Structure 1
């Protein structure tokens, strides 16, 4: 199957008719399988994927269990709002043309879905340009399901959320469902169930009236409870959908608040209080700095000069002390001479001459020097104290200045944050609507839990009745165990069980090989020695290292889990034997550059004969575009017009245009 053209009319963000050429183009003999769509978030990339899934799968695109009412409501939601404003009865349409070889003939098919408010959808199929009037809508859908079974479609047409869901599925439930659909095990299970019903019927035919009455009563009661269980489950699913929508709206509202400065508004009051504290502290520090500047601090501004001053004053003090000593000595010498004459009459002159010679030199030396700065001792002590204080003041001033700078930086940051925060009135309506949504979410959550508990309680009753019926039928079966029909049915059931186990084992083994091959192709170099083991009962996939140890998937990064999911999807796709286009919407958001590189180079170019890739400019950026350019058939850019509230598509791509301009 190859998609040729997708036509959208008044569908989601596309107002009016938009036709998109999806046919892969060749360059000589070289295949170019990738059709690349680029667009910013909200431009309409998901609308392309949604349109393809809707065209082929119909209401099964929304899930296995969905009511006609919900499906019609969903279709009405897909109609472009601008078209509805101009015409309340505006029609919406999705058409997909594709080539496919059916029953040995290669034909061009075109499926068209069209709907409008308060009306059922119309589904038509043209073959080689001729409308097929032999098929009604249900038969057309049945034919499409033959081409693309719903369970298989999820393996080929998926988005980043499906990848994330599969990546985080530690239970194996998604894989189990997919494998059972691929292998037809669900059909085997249904056949087994039908045979069991047949057995019950055989026994009931020969049962006495009282037993039949009990069985019929229990069957009727079980049927009634089963219907109640289904209703409760549908209600829970419906409420769950509402809950999911509400959570999406709440997330969107929170993003709007964030975009309007809500993150800053939350802390605005606290930050304003901090600003007041910091301003007071700033004033205190400024006062202390001024106090230090008005004291002896200026002396510390000229440390060399002050050191020279102290040295000179110290020298002057010594000169003054020497002069004072000389004066006192001169006054004391006559008394000394008289005393020496009395005690040493014969030697007094010699002793006195020696004394005069020694002290005379000291007195003469001091008398020749004069102090340059003649200040008192108290003034000298005061200057020394001031110089010491100036040094301490300088160290303190440094600490105060650093503290002031830190305070001013904090004030600057807080001021910016406060400026970013809008006034409370600006966000009042947004916060009120957010609170209303959260209140609605809480109420619906209670209702959802209530429905789930109700369904669980009813299911328990249903199981009790099933067990009681099983006992009735077991007794009847024992009575007719020799019947040929019973024997053949039991043999058929045994064969079915054996066939189911053998088929599952064989296919699981094949799936392991396909998965390992795909994973090694996409994984980083250090992961190439990994293998895989799939449990045939739970279908949980375990990675096994070179030593045979199981790797805990919970310990894997988000990017590694996504590579894991892509490998599973590729393996399941190949196991299905279907050759379908692959459509992927925004698949690279959680991947690191290494994993992106592997995916870009080794998954998308080889995933199918036709790969439709829907990406933002940050996912397939300029470098990644260059890496796959040789495999890109053509590219489109989706542009959203804010004023018109609709999108348009033109051929080209962000980086492709830049490359052309450069040339």
Structure 2
């Protein structure tokens, strides 16, 4: 699948129609589309729009979509937002259009979706359209290719309770092989029942009845397990919605009166500290502060004099033998009266040049004469030079104080219109209740899994016994031959699924450990990460080889681990998916950011869409990523129109 374009019409901060052309992602092997926007300019809205179009309201949640119609459009009596996603799949061109309807309170009431194939509308019901999407890119798989970089670490927490195993197997197409095996098992059961009705042996009939009862129990437990897992996913989505609501309230509460008073107190305390520091400087160092310019002039002059003296001393030392030679030479020549009319100054100058050349002396010219006015001994010179006025420089502190006074003025202005403190106790109680419900569902899921596994073991034993009894009867009928063939097919398919599962797990393990070694910086308490092929879980180890808890790692480390898992799944997936990543580098330090830029995005997939702030992908990282960028866009927000327009170029 490859995204070709996304249009947002009167959706959130996008007024009118705004379109992003995504068709240049693979031009000249450049797989990245970089979309830049400051916080609040609509980056997350792009991710939400794609989720809505592919999976409908249930995947996003009505609560999150409340007020998602553009305000200006709503003021103009508009009641709808429209989203359109064009993509290619199996060499065919598709477009999904979604129309969102709102009531008078800006609450989302319904959403209608329609699909277009090669510019022709396909008459599909909502269930049929969703069925098409789920068959090709199931909802659970979307976690791995449509994600918020700052929340992707939640994958690490989910994998600890085994919740990700089914999704992982789904993205690498193990579910397909399992379905084939299940179809063979259904045919096997049908033939076994037919066989038991034809034979007269009471033992066989009794054994067949036991198998049939076990199969009924198995079917019921599998339904119970599926229902519990479904409820678990629903509750988990509700939990995420409640957490989002709580976070939104916290964001609002950042401007509440209580928070602003706390901020004001911090600013006032820092101003007082700076005033105390300035006063201490004035008290302890006032004479030096007054004399600072004169002392600096003395230091500068003294440095020049010292440099002049040093050069004079160096020249004197290098030419001492030459001076002795010249004095002796001139004295001898004068005795013979043979230097009449000779320019002694020129002779000395030419001699010095020859001496400098023979002795490889680079500096032999006398320095420009200056007057030595500071006749200080070495001890006094050292004391004067060691005076450090940086610690007495209060300009920096004064600038900080000026900035704090401006901040204090802004806080006072905000206090006039600020709301009271936001109460999140309701959300916290609901989050606590949902967590308890999740824990309960998790326990029930483990219980039903144990039952299902136990029945599978018992059925295997009973079928083996039935096959032995059937061979003893030696009926040699067509039905017997069919049953023999289906039994062999069942064994082969079960072994095949087991072998493919093991092979895929090993491939995931290899890919995961390859990329995390490039991305993750080793620390004192972290040495190795690996993917367990039996449990489909991630393991971390310290330098002593002891396993350490993933839950205790930092958000940045969890993000790197989760991105490495996504990489491993991508390299072993059955379909090529486009990746949309919102805020991919927000929680990471500079080292891990550079690792991702260098090793990750350029090779993740054929199409990678990055939604970034200017501080994440800055000029330095942009230059490193540039060779893989096919196109760039900026989300430019206007405070006048209170809306965002999409323009070409990255923060132009």
TM-score, normalised to structure 2, is 0.60
- Report matched runs for 1:245-644 at 5 Å: 245-260=241-256, 262-263=258-259, 265=261, 430-431=420-421, 434-435=422-423, 437-442=424-429, 445-446=432-433, 449=436, 453=440, 482-483=469-470, 484=480, 490-523=487-520, 533-542=530-539, 549=545, 552=548, 554=550, 558-641=555-638, 644=641
Q: Is the 8 A contact 1:533 1:543 kept in 2?
A: yes
Alignment-derived partner of residue 113 in structure 2: 122
Q: CA deviation at 1:586?
A: 0.4
Asked if 1:13 corresponds to 2:2, the answer is: no
CA gap of 1:168–1:589, structure 2 versus 1, over 3 A, is farther
- Match for residue 3 of structure 2? 3
Q: Answer yes or no: is 1:186 the counterpart of 2:183.
A: no
Q: For the residues of structure 2 that align with 1:267 and 1:52, how far apart are their CA atoms?
A: 39
- CA-to-partner distance for each residue in 1:302-356, whole Å, 9 max, x for gaps? xxxxxxxxxxxxxxxxxxxxxxxxxxxxxxxxxxxxxxxxxxxxxxxxxxxxxxx
Q: How many residues align?
A: 498
Describe the shift of the 1:97–1:613 C-alpha distance in structure 2 as closer, same or farther (beyond 3 A): same
Three-state SS of the structure 2 residue aligned to 1:17 is strand
Asked if the contact 1:260–1:422 (Cα under 8 Å) also holds between the matched residues in 2, the reply is no
Once the two structures are superposed, residues 397-436 of structure 1 have per-residue CA deviations (whole angstroms, 9 ceiling, x without a partner) of xxxxxxxxxxxxxxxxx999999987999799532xx33x
1:45 aligns with 2:64: no
CA deviation profile, 1:501-547 (whole Å, cap 9, x unmatched) = 211222233223333433344355999x98764322112234689x9
> Could you tell me which residue of structure 1 aligns to residue 340 of structure 2?
none
Q: Which runs of 5+ in 1 are unaligned?
A: 63-69, 275-281, 283-413, 658-663
2:95 corresponds to: 110
Task: Give, in whole Å, the separation in 2 of the partners of 1:50 and 1:237.
Answer: 19
**3-state SS, counterpart of residue 49 of structure 1:** helix
Deviations 1:240-299 (A, max 9, x none): 544433333333333333344634646999999x9xxxxxxx9xxxxxxxxxxxxxxxxx
Shift of 1:23: 2.4
Q: Distance in 2 between matches of 1:458 and 1:521?
A: 36
Q: Describe the SS at the equivalent of 1:635.
A: strand
- Give the CA deviation at 1:107: 4.6
Distance 2:189 2:610 in 1: 52
The secondary structure found in structure 1 opposite 2:24 is: coil
Conserved? CA contact 2:5–2:21, under 8 Å: yes
Whole-angstrom CA distance in 2 between matches of 1:575 and 1:60: 28
Change over 3 Å in CA distance of 1:461–1:552 after alignment to 2: closer
**How many Å apart are 1:176 and its aligned residue?**
2.9
SS in 2 for 1:639: strand
Task: Report SS of the residue matched to 2:94.
Answer: strand
Aligned partner of 1:98 in structure 2 is: 87
- Deviation (angstroms), 1:199: 6.0
Question: 2:56 & 2:555 partners in 1: Cα distance?
Answer: 32
Structure 2 distance, partners of 1:214, 1:73, is: 50
Select between 188-197 and 209-218 the one with higher mean Cα deviation: 209-218
**Counterpart secondary structure, 1:121:** strand
**Deviation readout 1:343-370 (Å, 9 max, x if unpaired):** xxxxxxxxxxxxxxxxxxxxxxxxxxxx
Q: Secondary structure at the match of 1:113?
A: strand
Residues 427, 232 of structure 1: CA spacing in aligned structure 2 closer, same or farther, 3 A cutoff?
A: farther
Distance 1:131 1:83 in 2: 29
TM-score by length of 1: 0.59
Contact kept in structure 1, 2:35 and 2:633, CA below 8 Å: yes
Output the CA distance in 2 between the equivalents of 1:466 and 1:536.
Answer: 19
Shift in Å at residue 8 of structure 1?
1.4
CA distance in 1, matches of 2:591, 2:438: 45
Alpha-carbon distance, 1:237 to partner: 5.1
Matched, 1:177 2:175: no
Please name the residue that 1:160 is paired with.
149
Instruction: Give the C-alpha shift of residue 611 in structure 1.
Output: 2.4
Q: What displacement does 1:589 show?
A: 1.2
SS at match of 2:624: helix
Call closer, same or farther: CA 1:567–1:224 in 2, change over 3 Å: closer
**3-state DSSP class of the match of 1:51?**
helix
SS of 1:606 mapped into structure 2: helix
Q: Partners in 2 of 1:593 and 1:269 — Cα distance?
A: 33
The question of whether the paired residues in 1 share the 8 Å contact of 2:594 and 2:621 is answered with: yes
User: What is the CA distance between 1:96 and its match in structure 2?
Assistant: 2.0
Q: Distance in 2 between matches of 1:424 and 1:108?
A: 52
Q: 3-state SS of the aligned residue for 1:163?
A: coil
2:570–2:605 CA contact under 8 A, matched in 1: no
- CA–CA distance in 1 between the matches of 2:244 and 2:504? 39
Name the counterpart of 1:322: none
Within 2, Cα distance between the matches of 1:440 and 1:73? 13
Deviates more, 1:150-159 or 1:34-43: 150-159
Distance 1:199 1:25 in 2: 49
TM-superposed CA distance for 1:95, in Å, is 1.6
